[in-house]
Copies of this chain bind each other. A is one copy, B any other.
């Protein structure tokens, strides 16, 4: 599998991994969800090298996940803002945070707690079926080939 054309594979997981499947991208996006928008902000909170940060931000803009918006004219400065496509990554990040909370925790408890403003309570994210609303479990899902599948690729 060639890494640079992974986004053209007939597999939605591969296509997503092409965008967020590296060491840093999801951590950068976490900062975006925590309202960080500027180069120096990402750099100082993540300790990522400036070179890599620059590359990743370009890639995220190229894929339409962030947009680069000017916030100062002289000198020209830009900040990076989540698009709707980027906001839609939220369930991925929350699913990963929840798995980490459940399986990678230590004796000190959770690093972060999440409050649902709508109901006012601390919550966990739960994945349910869009049709019946029941909790999803891998063993209750059957996979069919769809129209976009070619050959023996998942």
Contacts and interface: CB of A to CB of B under 8 A. Distances in A.
Q: How many copies does the complex hold?
A: 2
28 contacts: A1-B27, A11-B30, A11-B100, A11-B111, A11-B112, A12-B101, A13-B26, A15-B100, A18-B104, A19-B104, A20-B96, A21-B26, A22-B23, A88-B102, A89-B99, A91-B98, A94-B127, A94-B136, A105-B148, A109-B146, A111-B145, A111-B148, A113-B144, A114-B141, A116-B131, A116-B134, A123-B129, A126-B127
B121 A1 contact: no
B143 A117 contact: no
Instruction: Give the interface SS of chain A, mostly helix, strand, loop or mixed.
Output: mixed
A132 interface: yes
B92 A95 contact: yes
A74 interface: no
Nearest to A3: B23
B147 A108 contact: yes
B138 A130 contact: no
A147 B34 CA distance: 18
